[in-house]
Amino acid sequence: MIMRKLLYILPVVATLMTSCIEGVDFSRHDEENTIATVDGVSLMRDELQRALPQGLVGDDSVTFARMYVDNWVLKQLKMKRAEQVLSSSSEDIERLVEGYRQSLIMRSLDQYYIDNAIDFEITDQQIISYYRSRSALFKLDHHKVRGFVVKVPRSFRNTSNLQSALKRAADSGSVEELQALVEKHSLSLVDMSGAWVSYSDFLSNLPTERSRDYSALLQKSGPQQMSSDDAIFHFVIMDVARKGDTAPIECVEDDIRRRLYAERRAEIVTAYEEELRREAFTAGRIEIADTTAMRTMSYVPDAEVESEVEILEEEILEEDIPVESTDSTAIN
C-alpha cells in the first residue's frame, strides 16, 4: 500500500515543487500541506522547501524534490523495519539512538575546541624531528628510485652528445642540459629525478619483461640502456631506497604532517577533557566513593586522595582496636 502511494506521490512532486518555489500559504490545513505519509509520519511542504538548495530551479528543482521525497520515504520504511528486526524492545532502539546522539554532540564539542586552539603551521624542523625519532614507522615495503629515461629511435646518430649529456646529468643530478638536447632532437624524456617513484613504475618506462628480475640494475649509478625493435632506451638510476630501508623523508612528508596534525587534535581534546574534570571535581560536581578508583583519576588533586586515604585508615583503625574494659570485676 505504501509503495502504491509512493508511485502516486512522485509524479506530482513537480507540481508540489512549483508551489514551494512560488510560495506556499503554510497557514492552510495540515492535510493540504502534506506531501507524503508513512506509518503516520508526514513530510510537510515547508520541510521540502527548506531542504531545496538556493538557486535550484526548473527541472533541477523537480529532480531534487523527487529524490528528496523518495529518500524520505525509504528512511521511514527502514526505521520501521529496524524497530521490528533489530530489537525486541523499543527501549533498545531509543538507547542506541540516544547513544549516537550523544556521540555526535561530543564530537561536535571536540571540534569546537580544536577549531579554537589548533595551530595549522607545521615547520620543516618539526617534520625532520618526527621523522628521525620515529624512523621505524616509515620502512619501505618496495624499492624506490629517482632517475630518468630517454627514448631514441635506432636511426638517431648524435649518440656521443647524448652520452655526454647523460653522464653529466647523472653526475650533477640536473637534467636541464639533457632536456635541451632532447627538445632539440625531438626525443622522448621521462624525468623522474625530482620525485621518488616505485621501482616498478620506473621499469614500466623500459622494454622490460614481466618474468625477469631487474634488481641488478639498482647496483649501477651511471648511464645504462635497453633496446627494443625500434628504439634504444637510455636511463640513469640516480638514487635508490631499498625495500626494508627507512623511506626518504620526501616520500613521507605528507604522512608526517597528517600524523602531527592528528596528534595536535588529540592533545587539544585531552587537555580540555582534563580541565573539564578538574573544574567539576573542584566545584564538588563529582564524587568518587571508591578510594582505590580515586587514586587512578588524574584530575583528582593528590591532597584530596591523601585526605580520603587518611580518613579510610582512621575508620579501619577504629574498627580493629578493641575498647578497654572499665568493669571493676574484670578477671586479672
How does pLDDT run along the chain (332 residues), one tens digit per residue?
444 444 444 444 444 444 444 444 444 445 678 889 998 899 998 998 899 898 888 888 889 988 999 999 999 999 888 777 776 666 777 888 899 999 999 999 999 999 999 998 999 999 999 999 999 999 999 999 999 999 999 999 999 999 999 999 999 989 999 999 999 999 999 999 999 999 999 999 999 998 899 999 999 889 999 999 999 999 999 999 999 999 999 999 999 999 999 999 999 999 999 899 888 888 888 777 766 766 667 666 665 555 554 554 555 455 554 544 444 444 43
Quote the CA–CA distance of 234 and 154 in Å, as a whole number.
Answer: 12
59 part of a folded domain: yes
User: What's at 22, amino acid-wise?
Assistant: E
Q: Indicate the residue among 24, 53, 86 that finishes a domain.
A: 86
Q: Which three three-digit cell numbers place residue 146?
A: 629517482
Would the CA dihedral through 249, 254, 255, 258 be positive or negative?
Answer: positive
Indicate whether 296 and 227 sit together in one domain: no
Question: Of how many residues is the chain composed?
Answer: 332
Would the CA dihedral through 168, 172, 173, 178 be positive or negative?
Answer: negative
User: Which one, of 217, 219, 221, 185, lies nearest residue 202 by Cα?
Assistant: 217
Q: Indicate the residue among 49, 64, 86 that finishes a domain.
A: 86
**Domains in the chain, number:** 3
Q: What is the CA radius of gyration of the chain?
A: 37
224 part of a folded domain: yes
Q: Indicate the residue among 182, 215, 241 that finishes a domain.
A: 241
User: What's at 44, amino acid-wise?
Assistant: M
Helices 159-172/176-184 angle, 10° precision: 160
Contact 43, 9 (CB under 8 A): no
User: What's at 285, amino acid-wise?
Assistant: R
106 part of a folded domain: no
Helix ranges restricted to H, 158-248: 159-172, 176-184, 199-203
User: Which one, of 74, 32, 26, lies nearest residue 50 by Cα?
Assistant: 26
207 part of a folded domain: yes
82 part of a folded domain: yes
Contact residues for 39 (Cβ-Cβ < 8 A; gap 6+): 2, 76, 80
Q: Which domain holds residue 200?
A: 140-241
190 part of a folded domain: yes
* Whole-structure pTM value: 0.62
Helices 90-117/58-85 angle, 10° precision: 130
260 part of a folded domain: no
